[in-house]
Chains A and B, each alone.
Chain A
Amino acid sequence: MRSHAPDRRSLLRQGLALAAMPWLPARAQSGRAGDAAPQARIVPRSGEALPLVGLGSWITFNVGNDAAARERCADVMQAFFAAGGRLVDSSPMYGSSQEVIGHGLRRSGALQRVFAADKVWVAPASRGPAQIEASRRLWGVPRFDLLQVHNLLAWREHLPALFEMKAAGGVRHVGITTSEGRRHGEFEQIMRSQPLDFVQLTYSLRDRRAEERLLPLARERGIAVIANRPFEQGDLLSALARHPLPPWAAELQCTSWAQLALKFVVSHPAVTCAIPATTRVDHVQENLAAARGPWPDAALRRRMVEHFDRL
């Protein structure tokens, strides 16, 4: 993991970059040169730069004791880090995913590089610390970069404990999650009342409900946003597969619907990072490629939506 606080110079540089380009992504600090590095956005509360595309693990990394499948997941993680990725997201709800991620991190030698995002998902909340510690051991990281209350389960009890943990240096960022548009009203109230660093919600070319209130509120409150289900677990891409790519996709250097759909998500100014999940090395490389190249402006984003809605 990276150092806790970015130095003043990098904060200033990032701040200037953001000021100059209010909603265009900054260049990722991936250690890779030139165009190979994915672009990044700044986490408002810590100033840390995160590459626009992360890696989810729901279903895809839950492979149990299948040794060959674990190695395939580790291959995906290795390709993800090699392409400049950082944020990996999981949850104790995801079966064996955390253990598989731990294996992938060790094999990739990426324990220092990963931005480790996990969740607490247990009630009563008094069992939260034990669950977090069990998760940390499975990942093999010294501490998590981000801990989120999964699907708002027992959030009234979990959040104060997580903020306390953050103050003590046990975690770097705190957040909450939801998916598929659930409980947006309550989610909004929590965003307004709690000093959250991150929120995680569903946002895709088809599911744009977060645009109404949550994404503008995140910008207003300086909360970083992780967009889950950018491909709606593959359903969106299956629906798009029978249609040809629009000619203007070339303007964005997109060669597939996956890249176009992902570019739509991460080009929203409030989105910090999208976390598509995959079991394939070529897909993870394709996803990271969507975090590079030209970006759609507001007019082109509208055109993307109009085109999609007509399909």
Chain B
Amino acid sequence: MTEWWTYRLGSFLMFSPRTYAGLVERYNAELWPLQPLLLVLCGLALARAWGARSESPGRWVWALLGAAWLWVGWAFHHQRFAAINWAAEYVAWACAVQGLALLWVGAVRGRLGFWGEVSAARSAGGLVVAFALFGQPLLGVALGRPWVQAESFGVMNDPTALATLGFLVLAQRPPWWLLPVPLLSCVLGGALASALHAPAAWLAPALAGAAVVCAGWRRRASPPLAGAGPA
């Protein structure tokens, strides 16, 4: 259709900022105190991934991330967000695919091992995870969002996607096909934040883009995992 150029980002926003804020607030209240528990678990996962000095599959880390994607898809997008945004149903399916892929490749097959010397790319991966865990909720509060509307890992879309990208950077030779869903997820999240006139809406998509670049760098720099590829 030739009229697509006439649409603004806000043209696609079908609910008010107040409605969205209320939805996040009620969702957070229903889940409390899951948020700090997930924060601690993901913090431990970051320590495990960052501190690996010998090859380690880190299966439980990927199990945590896979479960987080499945939960965000089901509990947030399908059960709640889809009530005011029909497109959320499609995102819920994408979350399910990403969650199952992480569970299969990382937790079941153990093909996303953590190991490596300290490098700029790995440091960037760690920083992206740290931002997803602590920076994003704190930044929102610092910019005027109430605590009860904070977006946290394993509960909301953007921090879960950003943390996943950070872990994929920390992993050795992450498959490229695990990157698009978290990246697109952050881009959509940024577009939503921008349409809602949220401050610093560009930050999550920018960090996601940087993480994908780092992951590509890591893929080229890392040797194949032992046992990977044809015999």
A-to-B contact residues, CB < 8 Å? 58-60, 62-66, 69, 93-96, 180-183, 279
With a cutoff of 8 Å between Cβ atoms, the chain A residues found around residue B83 in the complex are: 64-65, 95-96
A66 to B14, Cβ gap below 8 A?
no
B-to-A contact residues, CB < 8 Å? 3, 6, 11, 13-16, 19, 22-23, 26, 80, 83-86
Given contacts A64-B84, A95-B85, A95-B86, contact A59 B16 (CB under 8 A): yes
Dominant secondary structure of chain A at its interface with chain B: loop
Using CB atoms, name the residue of chain A closest to B83.
A64
A180 to B84, Cβ gap below 8 A?
no
A183 to B3, Cβ gap below 8 A?
yes
With a cutoff of 8 Å between Cβ atoms, the chain A residues found around residue B80 in the complex are: 64-65
What are the 5 tightest A-B residue pairs by CB atom distance, in nearest-first order?
A64-B83, A64-B84, A182-B3, A95-B84, A62-B15
**Complex CA distance for A180 and B5, rounded to whole angstroms:** 12
**Complex CA distance for A235 and B83, rounded to whole angstroms:** 26
A135 to chain B, nearest CB (A): 13
Contact of B84 among A58, A96, A183 (CB under 8 A): A96
B23 to A94, Cβ gap below 8 A?
no
Given contacts A69-B19, A182-B6, contact A63 B14 (CB under 8 A): no
A35 to chain B, nearest CB (A): 34
B26 to A66, Cβ gap below 8 A?
yes
Contact of A64 among B6, B11, B19 (CB under 8 A): B19
Contact of A93 among B3, B14, B84 (CB under 8 A): B14
With a cutoff of 8 Å between Cβ atoms, the chain A residues found around residue B14 in the complex are: 58-59, 62, 93-95
**Complex CA distance for A230 and B33, rounded to whole angstroms:** 45
B104 to chain A, nearest CB (A): 33
B65 to chain A, nearest CB (A): 28
Given contacts A93-B14, A95-B14, contact A62 B6 (CB under 8 A): no
Q: List 27 A-B contacts (CB under 8 A).
A: A59-B14, A59-B15, A59-B16, A62-B14, A62-B15, A62-B16, A62-B19, A62-B84, A63-B15, A64-B15, A64-B19, A64-B80, A64-B83, A64-B84, A65-B80, A66-B19, A66-B22, A66-B23, A69-B22, A93-B14, A94-B14, A95-B85, A96-B83, A180-B6, A182-B3, A183-B3, A279-B16
Given A59-B13, A95-B86, list of 12 further CB < 8 A pairs?
Answer: A60-B16, A62-B15, A64-B15, A64-B84, A66-B19, A66-B22, A94-B14, A95-B84, A95-B85, A180-B6, A181-B6, A182-B6
With a cutoff of 8 Å between Cβ atoms, the chain A residues found around residue B16 in the complex are: 59-60, 62, 279
With a cutoff of 8 Å between Cβ atoms, the chain A residues found around residue B85 in the complex are: 95
Using CB atoms, name the residue of chain A closest to B85.
A95
**Complex CA distance for A293 and B152, rounded to whole angstroms:** 54
Q: Which of B6, B15, B22 has the most CB of A within 10 A?
A: B15
Given contacts A69-B22, A93-B14, contact A63 B84 (CB under 8 A): yes
Q: Which of B13, B16, B19, B26 has the most CB of A within 10 A?
A: B19
**Complex CA distance for A182 and B11, rounded to whole angstroms:** 13
With a cutoff of 8 Å between Cβ atoms, the chain A residues found around residue B84 in the complex are: 62-64, 95-96
Using CB atoms, name the residue of chain A closest to B15.
A62
Using CB atoms, name the residue of chain A closest to B81.
A64
Q: Which of A62, A64, A279 has the most CB of B within 10 A?
A: A64
With a cutoff of 8 Å between Cβ atoms, the chain A residues found around residue B3 in the complex are: 182-183
Given contacts A180-B6, A183-B3, contact A64 B23 (CB under 8 A): yes
**Complex CA distance for A60 and B18, rounded to whole angstroms:** 10
Q: Which of A58, A94, A95, A180 has the most CB of B within 10 A?
A: A95
With a cutoff of 8 Å between Cβ atoms, the chain B residues found around residue A94 in the complex are: 14
A225 to chain B, nearest CB (A): 21
Q: Which of B3, B6, B16, B22 has the most CB of A within 10 A?
A: B3
A86 to chain B, nearest CB (A): 25
Using CB atoms, name the residue of chain B closest to A67.
B26
A298 to chain B, nearest CB (A): 31
**Complex CA distance for A279 and B22, rounded to whole angstroms:** 15
A185 to chain B, nearest CB (A): 10
Using CB atoms, name the residue of chain B closest to A95.
B84
Using CB atoms, name the residue of chain B closest to A153.
B1
**Complex CA distance for A65 and B83, rounded to whole angstroms:** 7
**Complex CA distance for A98 and B199, rounded to whole angstroms:** 32
**Complex CA distance for A69 and B86, rounded to whole angstroms:** 19
With a cutoff of 8 Å between Cβ atoms, the chain A residues found around residue B26 in the complex are: 66
B215 to chain A, nearest CB (A): 35
**Complex CA distance for A149 and B6, rounded to whole angstroms:** 20
A114 to chain B, nearest CB (A): 22
B130 to chain A, nearest CB (A): 33
With a cutoff of 8 Å between Cβ atoms, the chain A residues found around residue B23 in the complex are: 64, 66
B156 to chain A, nearest CB (A): 16
**Complex CA distance for A96 and B85, rounded to whole angstroms:** 8
